[in-house]
Amino acid sequence: MTVNIEYETEIELKLDYNKIINDVVEKAADYEKCPYEIEVNVVLTDNAAIHEVNKEYRQVDSPTDVLSFPMIEYAAPADFESLEEDMEEYPEDYFNPDTGELILGDIMISVEKVMEQADKYGHSEERELAFLTAHSMMHLFGYDHMEEEEAKIMEAKQSEVLELLGITR
């Protein structure tokens, strides 16, 4: 498993963000029974930078807490079996040629939002960062929350990943 983390802001999170992110990525992959070694790229940034990306890619003119950029289109969330034929035929579309790892996608998290939301919801910054990472990992596995039933499934999975790690409110 490779988790590339870039810290692109001067605003300092006073916690072991590398360990938190790596633990959540690994636990989410295990939870979803991903049969491959994976690669995920994570950018920790500030509200100004995530605002620009949110505006460009989602046409939403405000900062957000997390953005997810999945590299895989699943027939159904975390349905790796349906991808296998396509993966064999076009491995360069799915796997890093240097490591052989499945490239799940990119995550962008605002450290300012981590701090703000931890305070707002009355829990630790560790828990907020872990939650946002788990949320984004579910997007990278093809889950969404646009409809109520989808949201319930995704929220339950995020919570279960955090519970397995012992990260609670």
The ranges assigned to domains in the chain are: 2-164
Q: What are 65's strand-pairing partners?
A: none
> How far is the C-alpha of 58 from the C-alpha of 76, rounded, in Å?
23
What pTM value is reported for the model? 0.96
pLDDT digits (tens, 9 = 90+) for 46-63: 999 999 999 999 999 999
The tens digit of pLDDT for each residue in 69-128 reads 999 999 999 999 988 888 888 888 999 999 999 999 999 999 999 999 999 999 999 999
Q: Please state, for a pLDDT cut of 70, what percent of the chain lies above it.
A: 100
Q: What value does the mean pLDDT of the chain take?
A: 96
Which helix (H) or strand (E) is 107 found in, with range? Answer: strand 102-110
Per-residue confidence (pLDDT) for residue 116, from 0 to 100: 98
Q: What is the CATH number of domain 2-164?
A: 3.40.390.30
Query: How do residues 18-33 score in pLDDT, each as one tens digit?
Result: 999 999 999 999 999 9
Q: Tell me the C-alpha distance between 121 and 77, whole Å.
A: 29
pLDDT for 5 equals 98
